[in-house]
Amino acid sequence: MKKQLNAITLLLVTVLFLSACSKKETLNEPKGGPFENAQNDYLSKVDVDYAYNFAKSLEEFKTNEKLGYRTAGSQAEIQTGNHIFDEMKEIGLSEVTRDEITVDTWEFEKADLTFTDENGQEHLAVLGGYQTNFNTKGVEEFEVIYAGKATKNDLADLDVKDKLVLIDINQREEWWINYPALQAHLKGAAAVIAVQQGGYAEVDPTALNAQDIIGPAYAPAFSMSQADAEVLKKAITASGNASMKVRFDAKSVVEFDGKTYNYYGKIIGKDPESYIIFSAHYDSYFSGFQDDNAAIGLMMSIAKGLIDSGYKPEKTIIFNALAAEEWGVSNTRYDWSAGAYNQIFNVHPEWVGKAVANINFELPAYEHTSSDEIRTIYELKNYLEKFASTVPKIEGVYKDGISVVSPLRTWSDDFSFSIAGVPALRNDFQDSEFMRTHYHSQFDNEDTYNEKALAFHQNLYGLLTMYYDQTAVTPLDFTVRLEALKESIDQEIFEDADLSSNEIMTEIDTAIANAEKINKKVSEINDNYLRALNEGDNKTASKLYNESRELNSSLLETFKFAQDHFVKLTWEDEPIFPHEHAQNNIENLALSIEALKDGDVNTPLDEYLYAIDNNWYTYDFDKEVNRYFTDYVLEQPADRLLWGAGRIVGHEDLYDTINSLLEKREQKDANVTEEIEALKKALENQKQLLKTSVDEEHANMKKLSKMLAELE
């Protein structure tokens, strides 16, 4: 499906844009001049039809003929990358480059399950796949057995050895696929077949779902639709047995340390050593129209629009098509964004310190919310909020304008760029109902296409590129991160841990004062630089730019320091400040102890203990499973953990205590003295961890404050 609105959209955008410019000044910009002309030229050339058509062209290459898939290191991914490579040259990008990276590869060719339904009719279920090894080498007969959610209790009395185990799963509200997959594998299962029960693929009963496995390739898993599962469950019941015979023809192959490729091309600016980096990924589940074909189409259309408009950038603009975003490393918690991580950490680490921005795209041809969200690092929030007011509206989309939210999350490639030291942002998508309905299903296709949303993003991010390009110094405002850090400190918990927050609060305030001085300095330089450019005073502009190179480099170095020392992760991959890990655990441990002392076993189990590290898995899976997925975070080498390496602050193992309480929760007047003592010991551990974390945070804050002071 494709609407023919391009001419109308362009006319409307141009009229609204000129109207907006006549009423108010744009960000740090004098009215009129070359800058406004360049914007108008870009808006007249950028082509939404081109973006759509190129997005659709990516679907030509498939790993699985029935379902699509372009997976890490597969022939389909490599063919798609070559197609992008050729197009980058065709539209006029310079220095088009193919970068080889090392990833674990996955070819998912097929997974066809055939069985006799309750009416004696043959039924074919086409299954989706996960990144695991399972090759029947033709049709093979198996027994299939239904095992609920495949928890330790569900499997306790079932014989699943060498069987296909049909399970129900909700990966959003309960647990990820790796836990039941390994639980069943350790019980001898041949593979699990997961059926989504809410959370994802809610659009239709026939929807399949695909996600990253976050587990070992030797514990196989597949995805079945609710519609097919209903037929299969009825057939099992009708057979009168706990299991029934099925025929399975599957080929899913994971290989280690293979090769795939990232691709990029440039619009070379006056400064070939200062970069604005665009990125989007070209691997996909199913056809992947929104995720991420449309993002590649958007990125390429912006490149083409800038080139066709004759825009001559000050900085060099790099357009990066990245592989292996959905998955690229086997048997790690952090198995996605492998292409981006490799590109910025291993292939082009020299970009760090030279790149003033990464603009990443995900699912951009859909109106996820009534306001278009830009998700970004703390340091860009204020700058982007000012910029957002200058973007021309398009009638019928984003009626509430643009909102800017921080911090970045870990679900896309921008996080890898940001922790490397490149200030990053993306069009946000995670707060959308689309995540529950269409995301990572075969219903992520062109039927979801919103041309106005895509056109709006062409305008927004093309104009944003120009705004970045017209700054001499990257506009990083550290006060936003520092204020967020202050707000995250819980005074009561600090006091409970016999820890004063006065010293770190004082140091944060000093750093904020230093940052405010730098903000003023940077703003003045950028205002004068932009004025000189618009007045055609190239001599003054060049002088301001050259004189500010050291300041720009030092700002980026300071940003990298902040990313290294003040960005940690929860066990659910949410970014936090270092002290928040222990702070959260102390609160929940203290509340658990008090409740247990009052004879309340249920509340700690239902609320508090569940929220400590990754102990929510403790309730439903064997200790061996729980330990496995804890150790592979704490003990694996950094090259397997990628962007998650060193980001987890610690782990409090409550497996035995929680399971002991589970056994006693129905007992009247249960004696929980041992459990209280165990939790007290854990509480003391966390208080010590908090002290250590705050000491390190304080020392690093002193360094950050000094770095900011030296920028004056």
Nearest to 429 by CA among 242, 298, 602, 595: 298
- Using DSSP, state whether 318 is helix, strand or coil: strand
Question: How far is the CA of 497 from the CAs of 440, 582, 593, 597, 694, in angstroms?
Answer: 44, 10, 15, 20, 11
Average pLDDT over residues 448-454: 97
- Supply 541's token pair: 């502009």
For residue 515, give every residue at least 6 positions away whose Cβ sits within 8 Å of its Cβ, in sequence order, or none: 477, 478, 479, 482, 708
Contacts (Cβ under 8 Å, ≥6 apart) of 253? 106, 107, 108, 109, 133, 135
Question: What is the 8-class DSSP label of residue 609?
Answer: G
pLDDT at 390: 87
Residue environment code for 330-352, b if the CB has 16+ CB neighbours within 10 A, otherwise e: bbbbbbbbbbbbbbbbebbeebb
Query: Where do we find the tokens 């655990």?
Result: 585
Q: Buried b / exposed e across 208-235, counting CB within 10 Å, b at 16+?
A: bbbbbbbbbbebbbbbbbbebbebbbeb
Two tokens, residue 142: 């198996």
CB crowding 440-472: b at 16 or more within 10 Å, else e: bbbbbbbebbbbbbbbbbbbbbbbbbbbbbbbb
Mean pLDDT of 313-329: 98
pLDDT beyond 50 at 26: no
Q: Indicate the domain borders of the chain.
A: 6-106+256-363+370-469, 108-253, 476-712
Average pLDDT over residues 260-278: 97
Fold assignment, 6-106+256-363+370-469 = Aminopeptidase (3.40.630)
Residue with tokens 């005073």: 537
Kindly tell me if the per-residue pLDDT of 10 is higher than 50: no
pLDDT at 462 over 90: yes
Q: How far apart are CA 263 and CA 82, in angstroms?
A: 8
Q: Is the pLDDT of residue 12 over 80?
A: no
What's the pLDDT at 9?
A: 41
pLDDT (0 to 100) of residue 668: 87
What's the whole-number average pLDDT of the chain?
A: 94
pLDDT of residue 32: 56
Residue 124 is predicted with a pLDDT of: 98
Choose the weakest-confidence range: 16-30, 384-398, 541-555, 668-682.
16-30
* Structure confidence by residue, pLDDT tens digits, 168-204: 999 999 999 999 999 999 999 999 999 999 999 999 9
Mean predicted confidence (pLDDT) in 491-501: 94
Tell me if 6-106+256-363+370-469 shares its fold with 108-253: no
| Range with lowest mean pLDDT among 389-398, 448-457, 566-575 | 389-398
- In the predicted structure, residue 211 carries a pLDDT above the cut 50: yes
Judged against a pLDDT cut of 90, whether residue 29 lies above it is answered with no
Where helices occur in 91-134 by DSSP H, the ranges are none
The per-residue DSSP string of 323-386 comes to: S-SS--SSSSTT-S-HHHHIIIIII-GGGTTTEEEEEE--S-SS--SSSEEEEE-GGGHHHHHH
- Tell me which residue of 94, 77, 83, 7 sits closest to 45, measured CA to CA: 7
What proportion of the chain, given as a percentage, has pLDDT over 70?
Answer: 96
**pLDDT per residue as tens digits for the range 116-173:** 999 999 999 999 999 999 999 999 999 999 999 999 999 999 999 999 999 999 999 9
Residue 591: Cβ within 10 Å count: 16
Contact 29, 468 (CB under 8 A): no
Q: Write the pLDDT tens digit of every residue in 559-597.
A: 999 999 999 999 999 999 999 999 999 999 999 999 999
Phi, psi (deg, nearest 5) at residue 560: -60, -40
What φ, ψ does residue 571 adopt, rounded to 5°? -75, 0
Each residue of 281-290: pLDDT tens digit?
A: 999 999 999 9
Q: What does residue 660 show for φ and ψ, rounded to 5 degrees?
A: -65, -45
Give the mean model confidence (pLDDT) for residues 656-660.
97
79-123: pLDDT as tens digits: 999 999 999 999 999 999 999 999 999 999 999 999 999 999 999
Mean pLDDT of 300-329: 98
Is 60 exceeded by the pLDDT of residue 215? yes
Confidence of residue 353 (pLDDT cuts 50, 70, 90): very high
Please, which residues bridge with residue 145 across strands? Answer: 165, 243
- Give the pLDDT mean for 662-672: 92
User: Average pLDDT, stretch 485-513?
Assistant: 96
Its CATH architecture, for the domain 108-253, is 3-Layer(bba) Sandwich (3.50)
Give just the sign of the alpha carbon dihedral 433, 438, 441, 445.
negative
Interval 315-340 mean pLDDT: 98
